Amino acid sequence: MVEQEFKAALNYIKDSKNPPLDTNNEQKLDFYALFKQSTDGAPKGSAPSRLKVVERAKFMAWKAREKLTKEQAMQEYVNLLTKLAPNWKKPKI
């Protein structure tokens, strides 16, 4: 059930016909980290250099969620999308 909802959420975000989400950097990192945890599991290796600011921020956000199961990460991803776009599940007319 949660996997289907997660896939629907991914499709909603990818669909250019939908209005863009008004997200801040923290929310973008949340989406990234939850997606990576859902699809790849826990991060492997060490964090990128502090000089690689973006890559390091993404890795650290993902690392902060490494204890979530695949299903928990999927559910949190759906919850975040629902918070930012409450009507995303409603069918288009």
Tokens 């996997």, residue located: 3
- Map out the domains of the chain as residue ranges: 2-13+22-84
* CATH number for domain 2-13+22-84, candidates 1.20.80.10, 3.60.15.10, 3.40.50.1220, 1.10.10.10: 1.20.80.10
Say whether pLDDT at 74 is over 60.
yes
Q: What tokens appear for 5 in the block?
A: 């909802």
- pLDDT at residue 70, rounded to an integer: 97
pLDDT digits (tens, 9 = 90+) for 2-31: 999 999 999 999 998 988 899 999 999 999
| Lowest-confidence segment of 18-22, 32-36, 55-59, 88-92 by average pLDDT | 88-92
- pLDDT at residue 92, rounded to an integer: 65
Region for 91 from its dihedrals, namely left if φ exceeds 0, alpha if ψ lies in -120 to 50, beta otherwise = beta
Tokens 């973006």, residue located: 54
pLDDT digits (tens, 9 = 90+) for 44-67: 999 999 999 999 999 999 999 999
Angle between helices 70-84 and 25-40 (to 10 degrees): 150
Write the burial class of residue 13 (CB in 10 Å: 0-12 exposed, 13-18 middle, 19+ buried): middle
